[in-house]
Amino acid sequence: MLLKIVQTGDPVLRTPARPLTPEEIASAEVQQLIELMRETMRDAPGVGLAAPQIGLPLQLAVIEDVAEVEATERTPVPFHVIINPRLTLGDERVDFFEGCLSVDGYQAVVPRARTARVEARDHRGEPVSIDASGWYARILQHEIDHLGGTLYIDRMRTRTFTTARNAARHLAGVAVPELLARLGETPA
């Protein structure tokens, strides 16, 4: 069964999510929710899905990325769950395009930390520590933003906001630094 992904404008996307208790994490309901979120994320298709995106204000996200793109430091990331995450960001910032399943059909350049450390609980409620860089760090930041009521449009370089269709039509092959220079923006 696929879950409905809510779109920007729904108040749940702007509400900080609440932490889950150890008992909730172990419950059959949350374990089933994780499986439904995995199916929904894969079907969308996406690389992450946070509980607020399906209308639930819970600090829970699922992540999986099967792609590999050297230019964006994107490497495959196996399926995993982060619950009640705490994020620490590195100092270096990198600009790149992002989209969101809850801002369907649009993209924009978003400056993000190149590296990130996440302390969280996994699907069993066990503590996990994740050190990520490149695209994986971007995914973690994006999904954890959802848990705090923040969307990428809050962080984007507004002059780069475009439909996905126009990005493919007009920006294919244009490097992000070149695009930012055309728009009079200073890279991160």
**Residue 57 burial by Cβ neighbours in a 10 Å radius (0-12, 13-18, 19+):** middle
Residue 183 has pLDDT above 90, yes or no: no
155 touches 94 (CB < 8 A) = no
Determine the average pLDDT of the residues in 86-112.
97
The Cα 33–Cα 65 span in angstroms is 19
Which run of H or E residues covers position 86?
A: strand 77-89
- Token pair for residue 130? 């994740």
Domains of the chain: 11-182 (3.90.45.10)
pLDDT at position 111 = 98
The Cα 128–Cα 121 span in angstroms is 6
Residue 71 has pLDDT above 80, yes or no: no
Q: Which range is least confidently modeled, 67-71, 86-90, 101-105, 136-140?
A: 67-71
Provide the whole-model pTM: 0.95
Give the pLDDT confidence of 25-56 residue by residue, as tens digits: 999 999 999 999 999 999 999 999 999 999 99
Three-state DSSP class for 163? strand
pLDDT at position 72 = 78
Residue 73 has pLDDT above 90, yes or no: no
Please indicate whether residue 23 is annotated as part of the active site. Answer: no
The catalytic position among 64, 98, 143, 185 is: 143
